[in-house]
Amino acid sequence: MLRTSYFAKSARDPGAVSIARFPPKWYAGARYLSLAPAPDMIRSGNWEVFRQRYRDEVLTTIDPDAVLHELGELVPGQDIIMLCFEKERTHCHRGLVAEWFSETKGIRVPEVWEGGTTQATIQ
């Protein structure tokens, strides 16, 4: 299963994979930089500008099948939890990644919810 979460909640999960350019210093888990936004995208301060640039400059340049394969190789035998910093994914690149997987592969990517289960109504 493929899910999303944030560092403070799920960084110690065995399937955790950072998709942030610069994860917290204490984070020792897997990292996948192909989904990380460029620093200047983050500094834009405008969600719509960031959203469009992230989709145009990151998501359209990578193959979703290759991403799924590579994520699976990073945490073999585990449910994959893509991590970044924001508590809510509504204005966060992991939410855009979840949308992208839904659009390109028909895969629903839920957010990890309290107690480690998945939230039923994400997206």
Extents of the domains making up the chain: 2-116
**What is the C-alpha to C-alpha distance for residues 102 and 97, in angstroms, rounded to an integer?**
9
pLDDT surpasses 90 at 122: no
Q: What is the pLDDT of residues 38-89, one digit of tens each?
A: 999 988 889 999 999 999 999 999 999 999 999 999 999 999 999 999 999 9
- Looking at residue 42, its pLDDT comes to 84
Q: What is the pLDDT of residues 10-51, one digit of tens each?
A: 999 999 999 999 999 999 999 999 999 999 998 888 999 999
**What is the C-alpha to C-alpha distance for residues 98 and 73, in angstroms, rounded to an integer?**
19
